[in-house]
Structure 1
């Protein structure tokens, strides 16, 4: 959580105008992080962010107005314990037993252009991840 000062980032489209902001987005994507703030807080920009690596770990995110003369918004959120307990169970995959041909076939059956049309990066990732996990089973 913090003030990341990338006002040109559009989190809905996963896009940015400036090179430094695009590098920041690339870092977020490369580390499979989710940005949890949904409302702009400072002059229409999302500068104060909550990043997490686990869907469902952070919830009940609320902007609470500014404190005194600050141009920052206070952010209230919860760390959800149910997910925290699940984090203690480590599951690993045995890739030597994987049928990558079948995996590729299962993912290739989905008409991705239509499934992701008009969706932002976060929604697209969640849809793709759901199909990825289903194919993994």
Structure 2
């Protein structure tokens, strides 16, 4: 199992998503925890590294756990994505391994990873994603 955390940041019915260098699909911003990190610490670090903004620690709230088959050549491997919402300070900009930042809506569902598709479905069902 691949265990990751992700930031759900929605605006005007769209969700912030990122595409890493060399990848063709979009992923929600976030990543894997480093040894000794709790979820909030990992989220803060990953978002700083990927998008150059600072998550406001007191605003981090759980938003669900989602699982799906891993993308690519990882047959039988499941991705578990623990999602959080949070406020931030700064200006969003691609950094580190991120090639593109985009605001996606439900019509973009075919452009995202398998686990993100499940998250898109959930957000659509709850009226948060247009």
- Does TM, scored on the shorter chain, surpass 0.5? no
TM-score by length of 2: 0.28
Which protein is richer in strand relative to its size? 2
